[in-house]
């Protein structure tokens, strides 16, 4: 799609959201009005990243992130509904579906007639996906019998297509393998549970599913049997990318609302924006928002390199969800008491953003993983202060605990992961900066990234003492 067409699409989305998407009304009703979803379907948003030969727009990942950011500026529940459909919901099918599966599902997914969901989390398998209990057993007729529970499924109440993960021991030669299956929720033995009540994202549907002796046809299997975990990583990369794009939208909306307020609101005989402390807080917020958007663009540009996409979307997910929560919180703070009142419209931003630090990989789990990746496969860097600070932290872990022992130091890996995430954000911001203003924003993030990488660990003996007391339950 040409740049002009994408720009026209973005203008159309902006215009539609301005006229029809009202975040507070959606939050209060706990649902997105059907006419909003059908309006977005008419604009072609449910097919943005789907192949043109099946009615999709075939947008690049980068252009798709721009659309999701634009929607999220108006409302996060809508952005989550569409983002989930385009990311987790359909990526597996696009990448590994057979021609027959494509023919059957993609046209109605692209038109928005069918909305997609992705179900992997279970009551006993959240962050630890190796603990999946949902079991799919091949029976003699080439079919699969599925039993198990899936929880917290975004779009669960709207979906006419579920992609599920299930343990398939022995299938495809993998003793403990998992596989992905395409499931029509109307299939006998699929029991959709009631809507969950949530802190935020109230317009986004979230339900559980029970699979009770559900018999799936042979063509429900997606891709190769036993390859589910590998597929999951790619699908999650797309999910995290679009989630991060939504966070940029939240951060943009929060900053815009805050700037309007601090110019208008006078205390101590002058506008809040004249207070130096407020100025410093806003300068940092603007820099973080700039780096969030640069990191999302950088990650999206790696869409054809699966390894780079996985690594960069991990950094983007953590940096952007932390950033969105921080900027939404600052918006409430600088609105003062008004920020705490729902009608002002910034409280909902924080409630909606909060879950982004939890879902699609809890941030602390991802930080430890990012640190581990850097320990084992360091990213080539420049001989500058930013890369030098991260490398120094890495070397410290390796020197203090050589070999396998380094892999057991989770707290240090977590701290290294945080340095890596900020380094990636700073690198993206520095590389993208074209104007003096952008360069200033990038420099601010770079300086904070360097300081973060050099920050000493907490006093280890004190941590050990307190941890022991907490484990024994003797801390008051
Ligand atoms: C609104 C919503 C929508 C969701 N949508 C979907 C969906 O569409 N599909 C889907 O499959 N799932 C979905 N999820 C599930 C989501 O991905 C999980 O909630 C998330 O992965 C965390 O799993 P858990 O809730 O079991 O938390 P746990 O795994 O129990 O972890 C709880 C907390 O413990 C900490 N923690 C855990 N392990 C570690 C560790 N190794 N190191 C450090 N800290 C750790 C983290 O702080 C973590 O947040 C959704 C959840 C919500 C709330």
Q: Is the beta carbon of 356 within 6 A of some atom in ligand 1?
A: no
What are the Cα distances from residue 193, in Å, to 150, 190, 202, 312? 10, 10, 16, 35
As given in the structure block, the two tokens for residue 120 are: 């992997």
Condensed to tens digits (0 to 9), the pLDDT of residues 245-261 reads 999 999 999 999 999 99
pLDDT at 451 over 80: yes
pLDDT at 131 over 90: yes
Ligand 1, pocket-test mutation among 233, 359, 372, most atoms within 8 A of CB: 359
pLDDT at 174 over 80: no
∠291-372-170 over CA atoms, to 5°? Answer: 115
Compute, in angstroms, the gap from residue 120 CA to the centroid of ligand 1. Answer: 11
Residue ranges of alpha helices (H) inside 220-362 are 228-264, 276-300, 306-335, 337-340, 347-354
Residues contacting residue 173 through CB under 8 Å, at least 6 positions apart: 226
Ligand 1, atom 20, residue with closest C-alpha: 359
What interhelical angle do 410-432 and 276-300 show, nearest 10?
90
Tell me the C-alpha distance between 183 and 172, whole Å.
20
- Looking at per-residue pLDDT, the higher value among 70 and 461 belongs to 70
Average pLDDT, the chain: 96
Compute, in angstroms, the gap from residue 367 CA to the centroid of ligand 1. Answer: 14
- DSSP class of residue 342? G
What interhelical angle do 410-432 and 363-376 show, nearest 10?
90
pLDDT at 7 over 80: yes
- Number of neighbouring beta carbons within 10 Å of residue 81: 27
Compute, in angstroms, the gap from residue 311 CA to the centroid of ligand 1. Answer: 19
Ligand 1, atom 4, residue with closest C-alpha: 152
Query: Which residue carries 């409630």 as its tokens?
Result: 351
Condensed to tens digits (0 to 9), the pLDDT of residues 283-303 reads 999 999 999 999 999 999 999
pLDDT at 126 over 90: yes
pLDDT score, position 75: 98
What is the topology classification, in CATH, of domain 116-226? Butyryl-CoA Dehydrogenase, subunit A; domain 2 (2.40.110)
Residue 328's pLDDT band (cuts 50, 70, 90)? very high
- Reference 297, options 312, 282, 287; nearest CA is 312
pLDDT score, position 115: 98
- pTM score, whole prediction: 0.97
Q: Is the beta carbon of 154 within 6 A of some atom in ligand 1?
A: yes
> Which residues partner with 138 through β-bridges?
144
Condensed to tens digits (0 to 9), the pLDDT of residues 329-386 reads 999 999 999 999 999 999 999 999 999 999 999 999 999 999 999 999 998 888 899 9
Average pLDDT in the 11-33 region? Answer: 98
Per-domain residue ranges for the chain? 3-111, 116-226, 231-454
Compute, in angstroms, the gap from residue 175 CA to the centroid of ligand 1. Answer: 26
Condensed to tens digits (0 to 9), the pLDDT of residues 374-430 reads 999 998 888 899 999 999 999 999 999 888 888 889 999 999 999 999 999 999 999
> Which residues partner with 135 through β-bridges?
147, 167
CATH number of the domain at 3-111, please? Answer: 1.10.540.10
pLDDT score, position 103: 98
Tell me the C-alpha distance between 46 and 250, whole Å.
21
List, by residue number, the catalytic residues.
Answer: 360
pLDDT score, position 474: 86
pLDDT score, position 405: 87
pLDDT score, position 4: 86
- Reference 228, options 177, 153, 161; nearest CA is 177
- CATH top-level class for 231-454? mainly alpha
Q: What's the distance, Cα to Cα, between the start and end of the chain in Å?
A: 61
pLDDT score, position 31: 97
Average pLDDT in the 172-199 region? Answer: 94
Q: Is the beta carbon of 363 within 6 A of some atom in ligand 1?
A: no
- pLDDT above 70 covers a percentage of the chain that reads 100
Residue 459's pLDDT band (cuts 50, 70, 90)? confident
pLDDT at 175 over 90: no
Condensed to tens digits (0 to 9), the pLDDT of residues 88-113 reads 999 999 999 999 999 999 999 999 99
Average pLDDT in the 3-31 region? Answer: 96
Ligand 1, atom 16, residue with closest C-alpha: 359
């Amino acid at each position: 799609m040409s740049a002009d067409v994408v720009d026209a699409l973005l203008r159309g989305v902006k215009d539609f959201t301005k006229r029809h998407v009202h975040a507070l009304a959606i939050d209060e009703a706990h649902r997105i009005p059907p006419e909003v979803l059908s309006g977005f379907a008419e604009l072609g948003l449910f097919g943005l990243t789907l192949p043109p030969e099946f009615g999709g727009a075939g947008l690049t990942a980068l252009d798709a992130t721009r659309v999701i950011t634009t929607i999220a500026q108006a409302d996060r529940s809508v952005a989550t509904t569409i983002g989930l459909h385009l990311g987790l919901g359909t990526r597996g099918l696009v990448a590994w579906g057979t021609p027959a599966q494509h023919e059957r599902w993609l046209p109605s997914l692209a038109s928005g007639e069918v909305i997609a969901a992705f179900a992997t989390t279970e009551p006993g398998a959240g962050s630890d996906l190796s603990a999946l209990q949902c079991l799919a057993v091949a029976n003699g007729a080439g079919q699969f019998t599925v039993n198990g529970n899936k929880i917290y499924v975004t779009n669960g109440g709207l979906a006419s297509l579920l992609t599920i993960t299930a343990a398939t021991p022995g299938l495809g030669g993998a003793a403990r393998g998992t596989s992905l299956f395409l499931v029509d929720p109307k299939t006998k033995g699929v029991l959709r549970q009631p809507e969950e009540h949530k802190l935020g994202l109230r317009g986004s549907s979230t339900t559980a599913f029970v699979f009770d002796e559900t018999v799936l046809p042979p063509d429900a299997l997606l891709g190769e049997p036993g390859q589910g975990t590998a597929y999951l990583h790619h699908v999650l990369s797309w999910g995290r990318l679009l989630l991060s794009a939504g966070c940029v939208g939240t951060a943009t909306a929060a900053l815009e609302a805050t700037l309007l307020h601090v110019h208008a609101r006078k205390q101590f005989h002058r506008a809040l924006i004249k207070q130096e402390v407020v100025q410093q807080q806003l300068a940092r917020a603007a820099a973080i928002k700039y780096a969030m958007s640069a990191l999302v663009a950088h990650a999206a540009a790696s869409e054809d390199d699966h390894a780079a996409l996985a690594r960069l979307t991990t950094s983007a997910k953590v940096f952007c969800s932390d950033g969105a929560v921080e900027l939404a919180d600052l918006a409430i703070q600088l609105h003062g008491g008004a920020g705490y009142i729902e009608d002002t419209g910034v409280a909902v931003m924080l409630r909606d953003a909060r879950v982004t630090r939890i879902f699609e990989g809890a941030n602390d789990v991802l930080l430890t993983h990012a640190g581990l990746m850097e320990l084992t496969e360091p990213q080539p860097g420049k001989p500058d202060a930013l890369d030098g600070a991260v490398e120094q932290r890495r070397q410290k872990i390796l020197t203090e605990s050589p070999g396998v022992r380094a892999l057991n130091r989770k707290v240090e890996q977590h701290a290294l992961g945080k340095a890596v995430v900020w380094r990636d954000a700073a690198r993206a911001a520095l590389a993208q900066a074209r104007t003096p203003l952008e360069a200033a924003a990038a420099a601010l993030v770079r300086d904070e990234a360097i300081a973060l990488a050099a920050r000493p660990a907490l006093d280890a003996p004190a941590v050990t003492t307190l941890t022991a007391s907490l484990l024994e339950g003797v801390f008051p």
